[in-house]
Amino acid sequence: MEERKVAIIGSGCAGLTAALYTARAGLSPLVIEGDESGGQLSLTTLVENFPGFVEGIQGPELIDNLRRQAERFGAEFRTGRVKRLVLERRPYRLELEDGEVATQAVIIAAGARARWLGLPSEQALIGHGVSSCATCDGFFFRGRDIVVVGGGDSAMEEALFLTRFASSVTLVHRRDQYRASLIMLARAQANPKIRWITNAEIVEIRDVEKQEVTSIVLQDTRTGRRRELPTAAVFLGIGHIPNTNFFGAALETDSDGYLVTRDYVFTRTPGVFACGDVQDRRYRQAITAAGSGCMAAIEVERFLQEHAAG
Ligand code: NAP
């Protein structure tokens, strides 16, 4: 079986930063790229809030740069995903789709994926007016009327944030009861730029042919009646799903499936660290993911210095 000092699960901002640091420490990391190589940044367009890029940088270009930077110092990449992480004893074992890897330390940077509605028109317009990241894309809709979907805290937070740019934000929710905390709901209700549509589901986002969002088709959940609402953008605020299903009960997760860490990046298993969105429900930014990737890499280096190979 192939043996490694460190394996990194995930190739988004967190995983690639961890790869850069462990590679520069001479640990020859192996990065398992996962289903979505490059993570969520590879799905975005212009990134204007990653420090150091005066004019911003395209998400895929930033990912490509990080990857090449890590490769320059000896990081290796493997496509595919980890089916199972076996943590009974060191060396730990990664079961891949096409083989197994034994490793002395593991960095879990598997990320989280935004929950989408699952409409074909939505998928076709991601990056063209459909977004799951208000912080990333809100700026592009200055002075426009836009829509946010969801009834939880994320939707309230996104809607409030987007009122800084948009001339109006319409919150579309599938029920008439909100899951959001009272304080967030009250804050949103007090904002005159926010409009409210309840008991409605989006059944189509137009206009795929033009490759820009021009309107949504709403269906009333009680009557089934449909109507069209013009909008320049649709922001999804219906939650995130951390990618934590490959380690079963071996590591601790919270009620929403996020990997639980202490002191930023430590899991409960020695030599297994976690960084980025898989363990961060609070910030979920490229720069915070990169920062925690750096922390995980430094802890791996320390761990391997202190613990002989198992
Ligand atoms: P959430 O609480 O699970 O809310 C998700 C919302 O999206 C719900 O209103 C749900 O509708 C709706 N939804 C889910 N799937 C849908 C679909 N397919 N179509 C239409 N609507 C759909 O998720 P969240 O808002 O991301 O919050 C997650 C956790 O993070 C919560 O504990 C929250 O308090 C916390 N959080 C806190 C803050 C803050 O305090 N600043 C900010 C963000 C998140 P239903 O209600 O009908 O199920």
pLDDT for res 248: 86
Above 90 in pLDDT, residue 281? Answer: no
Q: Under a CB-based contact definition with an 8 Å cutoff, are residues 217 and 204 in contact?
A: yes
Q: Quick check: helix, strand or coil at residue 57?
A: strand
Percent over 90 (pLDDT), the chain: 87
pLDDT above 80: residue 46: no
Q: Find the 174 Cα to ligand 1 centroid distance in Å.
A: 12
Q: What is the pLDDT of residue 300?
A: 98
Instruction: Tell which atom from ligand 1 comes closest to the C-alpha of 118.
Output: 18
Mean pLDDT computed over 151-165: 94
CA of 171 to the centre of ligand 1 (A): 13
pLDDT(95) > 80: yes
Q: Which of 136, 153, 277, 280 does the annotation list as catalytic?
A: 136
Among 117, 174, 277, 285, the mutation site with the greatest number of ligand 1 atoms within 8 A of its Cβ is 174
Q: Supply the pLDDT for residue 213.
A: 98
Q: What average pLDDT does this structure show over 84-95?
A: 96
Give the residue, out of 122, 179, 182, with the most ligand 1 atoms within 8 A of its beta carbon, to mutate for a pocket test: 179
Comparing 70 with 247, the larger pLDDT belongs to: 70
The binding-site residues of ligand 1, defined as CB within 6 angstroms of any ligand atom, are: 115, 117, 149-155, 157, 174-175, 179, 181, 184, 238-239, 281
CA 153 to ligand 1 center in whole angstroms = 6
Lowest mean pLDDT among 4-8, 57-61, 133-137, 273-277: 133-137
- Model confidence at 167: pLDDT above 80: yes
Catalytic choice (35, 64, 133, 153):
133
How far apart, in whole angstroms, are the C-alpha atoms of residue 235 and residue 14? 24
Integer CA distances (angstroms), 118 to 80, 125, 197, 243, in order: 23, 12, 20, 18
Active site residue 136: yes
Cα 47–Cα 50–Cα 53 angle in degrees, nearest 5: 85
Euclidean distance between CA atoms 92 and 76, whole angstroms? 18
Structural domains of the chain, with CATH = 2-113+240-306 (3.50.50.60), 116-236 (3.50.50.60)
| Residue 270: per-residue pLDDT | 97
120 CB burial (10 A radius; 0-12, 13-18, 19+): exposed
pLDDT at 200: 98
Q: Is the pLDDT of residue 280 over 90?
A: yes
pTM of the model: 0.79
- Give the mean pLDDT of 95-103: 96
What number is the average pLDDT over the span 195-201? Answer: 98
What is the model's pLDDT at position 309? 77
For residue range 205-244, list pLDDT tens digits in order: 999 999 999 999 999 999 999 999 999 999 999 988 999 9
Query: Whose CA is closest to atom 22 on ligand 1?
Result: 238
133 is catalytic: yes
pLDDT at 310 over 80: no
Task: Count the neighbouring beta carbons within 10 Å of the beta carbon of residue 136.
Answer: 22
Q: How far is the CA of 73 from the centre of ligand 1 (A)?
A: 41
Of 27-31, 58-62, 290-294, least confident by mean pLDDT is 58-62
- Using DSSP's 3-state secondary structure scheme, residue 121 falls into helix
Q: Is the pLDDT of residue 284 over 90?
A: no
- 45 band by pLDDT with thresholds 50, 70 and 90: confident
Listed residue (245, 274, 244) closest to 105, CA to CA:
274
For residue 157, which atom of ligand 1 is closest to its CA? Answer: 42
Q: Which atom of ligand 1 is nearest to the CA of 238?
A: 7
The alpha carbon of 68 and the centre of ligand 1 are apart by a number of angstroms equal to: 36
Average pLDDT, the chain: 95
